[in-house]
Each structure stands twice: as C-alpha cells, then as structure tokens.
C-alpha cells in the first residue's frame, strides 16, 4: 500500500485512461464514421502509453524523495519516504521507472516512425528531475511545467495515431479531415493544461507552511494567498469562456445532450469551486478543492464517451 501511495496509482490510472479515451472514444469513432480504421498497432500504442505512466511514477517518487521535510510539515503522518520505504529504495525505484520509461518510449517512437519523438521522453524525464530539484522553487515555473506535462498526455496520444493514419492510409481516404481532429485534440490538451494549472495553484495554497520553510517561491508565497485565489479563479474563468465558445458551436448544430453534459458536469462544478476557493481559509479546504478539480478533469475526458456515441449515431 505504501508503494501504491508513493507512485500515486490513481493518477497513473487517469493518465492511461486519458490516452486510451483519445484513441478509442475520439479517434476510433471518427475513423469508423469515415470507413477508416486505426492504423497504429495496439501493442505499440500500449507501450507508448506505458512510457508516460512509468515516467510519471518516477516523477512522483523523486518528488516525495526531495519533499520529506516539507511533507512532514504539510502532511504529517502521511510521509512514506524515510518511514515505510527507505530513501535508498525510493531512489532506486525512481531510476528503474525513469530509465524503463525513457527506453520504452524511445522504442515505441521508432516503431511509430518518429524516432525524434523519443526526445520527448528525455525531456519528460529531465523536466521532472529539474522540477523537483530546481523549478518548483522558482515562481510559477513549476506550475507551468507540470501543467505542460499533463497537456502532453492527450496530445501525444492523438498525434501518434493521426500520424499513423496520414502516413499509412490517408491516400485512400482523402475525405478525412485529419487537421480538424488535431484541433479537437489540441482543445482537449488546452483544457488539461488550464485545469491542471488551476489545481497546482490551489495545491500551493494548501502547502504554504511547509513550502515557506523549504524555500519555495510559489505564487501564494510571493503574492499572498488572496492573490493565489484570484489567479486560480482567473484560470478557471478562461476555461469557462472557452467552454462557452464550444457550447455555442454545439448549439448551432443542435447537440443538446453535449451542451447539457458540459454545463452540468463541467461548468457548474467549476463555478462551485470558484465560489468555495474564496471561502477557504484552512489547508484541508484547499485539499478538497484540489480533488474536485481533478474530478472535473476526469469528467472532461469522460465527455468523449458522449462524443463517441454522437459520432457513431
């Protein structure tokens, strides 16, 4: 159980779930509607996806490895490294996960026909290391880096499948608008980036006490908690505005169920979070909002179930 908590197993499931949703709930129905099929072999896609999971697991481990002092202040009684798992064992597990993740990612990239994409996994691995050791102490840098990492999860899953479709079968199906699907995947990635950025700011407000003592310069520490609340709400307002644009597009083509889903399961929960952010004054309150934002992200990905049904019918 300590190992499962250390690698944030539920978060890893969300990463894998997101990538498979992009492939099977977004691209597969779209291709099938055009009498086309997925071109990337399933085994290669699984290896490609698992590379991200392995790197993320390594990132969580090394983060806990360096955050022992802060976690003893922010989350006393929940610290794993140094208690149920030794620091040496945690460091060993980090290197095993990271090296395996980079190796499998590079192998999958060559099989896809994009060997240069393997550099992305080196970028991921080095980025997670420098985030933990350096960037998280720099104002907003850590927040932006983590949000970028999360945004790459749906984007790369869609990009490699679209690339395989273009190179292996596009000449036979010139009616397929691959660029339109790339825009849809980019929109999902932007949503992931913004909701993660808001969540990271909220988490920083939860961890202010420990971060101050360890020298972190997070937004709530530099600008104050009130400014942190305003910034998180500003990011959420941007999400609401972008979703409203999408709602207008759905309204024009009479997609009522899609509109109802976005309003009830994404926009309304975001509004509730915005209201509660202004009321929270204790760390446990920020922790609850952080969990709500994670659920909203999952809810946004689950919208693809509805989009798949619409596409196929």
- Amino acid 55: pLDDT: 96
- Amino acid 134: pLDDT: 83
- Amino acid 24: pLDDT: 95
User: What total of structural domains would you count in the chain?
Assistant: 1
Strand partners, 301: none
Give the range of the structural domain holding residue 39, as residue numbers without chain letter: 2-312
Tens digits of per-residue pLDDT, 144-161? Answer: 999 999 999 999 999 999
Between 311 and 4, residue with greater pLDDT? 4
Tens digits of per-residue pLDDT, 80-135? Answer: 888 888 999 999 999 999 999 999 999 999 999 899 999 999 999 999 988 888 88
**CATH (domain of 194):** 1.10.600
- Amino acid 171: pLDDT: 53
Q: With cut-offs at 50, 70 and 90, classify the pLDDT of residue 71.
A: confident
pTM of the full structure: 0.92
* For residue 66, pLDDT beyond 90: no
């Amino acid at each position: 159980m300590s190992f499962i908590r250390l690698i944030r197993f539920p978060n890893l499931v969300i990463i894998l779930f997101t990538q498979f949703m992009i492939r099977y709930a977004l691209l597969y129905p779209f291709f099938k509607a055009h009498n086309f099929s997925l071109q990337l072999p399933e085994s290669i896609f699984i290896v490609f996806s698992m590379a991200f999971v392995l790197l993320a697991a390594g990132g969580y481990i090394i983060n806990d490895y360096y955050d022992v002092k802060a976690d003893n202040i922010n989350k006393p009684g929940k610290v794993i490294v140094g208690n149920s798992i030794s620091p040496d064992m945690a460091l060993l597990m980090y290197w095993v996960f990271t090296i395996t993740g980079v190796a499998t990612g590079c192998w999958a990239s060559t099989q896809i026909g994009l060997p240069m994409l393997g550099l992305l996994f080196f970028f991921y691995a080095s980025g997670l290391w420098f985030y933990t050791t350096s960037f998280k102490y720099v104002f907003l840098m850590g927040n932006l880096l983590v949000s970028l990492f999360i945004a790459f999860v749906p984007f790369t899953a869609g990009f490699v499948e679209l690339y395989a479709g273009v190179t292996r079968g596009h000449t036979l199906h010139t009616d397929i608008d691959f660029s339109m699907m790339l825009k849809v995947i980019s929109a999902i990635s932007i949503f992931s980036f913004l909701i993660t950025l808001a969540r990271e700011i909220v988490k920083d407000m939860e961890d202010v006490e420990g971060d101050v003592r360890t020298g972190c310069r997070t937004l709530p520490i530099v600008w104050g908690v009130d400014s942190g609340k305003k910034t998180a709400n500003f990011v959420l307002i941007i999400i609401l505005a972008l979703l409203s644009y999408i709602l207008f597009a759905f309204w024009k083509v009479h997609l009522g169920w899609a509109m109802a889903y976005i309003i009830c399961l994404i926009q309304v929960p975001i509004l509730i979070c915005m209201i509660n952010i202004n009321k929270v004054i204790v760390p446990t309150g920020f922790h609850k909002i952080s969990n709500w934002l994670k659920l909203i992200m999952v809810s946004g990905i689950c919208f693809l179930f509805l989009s798949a049904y619409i596409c196929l019918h």
